[in-house]
Amino acid sequence: MEQASLMYYVITRKIELAQQCIVEEEKKMVVYEDKIVADNRSFSLNAVLDISFKSTLNEYDILYLHTNSGIFSFLIKDNPKEFIQMVKAKES
């Protein structure tokens, strides 16, 4: 059962008809009882070491998911406070 969710964004730049196009794709990251799922990637909560957030001056902020397989970053627009609290509550 879904416990919490947060929207994140994947930005793709491509050239079409000699013009650069920027495509923003909205995706959903979800915390379940035992894992975090982001698009087609799943992270066991046992593998999550920490979760952090960096505010930036542009349109997107950055959410970092620290795992035993490395650090994964996600572009976000919404405040992730509740999402982070839910993940940290599940880690303990």
Distances (CA, A) of 4 to 9, 32, 45, 70, 79: 17, 7, 14, 23, 13
Q: What is the pLDDT of residues 76-90, one digit of tens each?
A: 999 999 999 999 887
Instruction: Map out the domains of the chain as residue ranges.
Output: 4-91
| Order of strands across the sheet that contains 4-16 | 41-44, 35-38, 19-31, 4-16, 70-76, 61-67, 48-54
pTM of the predicted model as reported, rounded to 2 decimal places: 0.88
Q: What is the CA radius of gyration of the chain?
A: 15
CATH number of 4-91: 2.30.29.30
Q: Please indicate whether residue 1 or residue 4 has the higher confidence score (pLDDT).
A: 4
Q: What is the pLDDT of residues 19-32, one digit of tens each?
A: 999 999 999 999 99
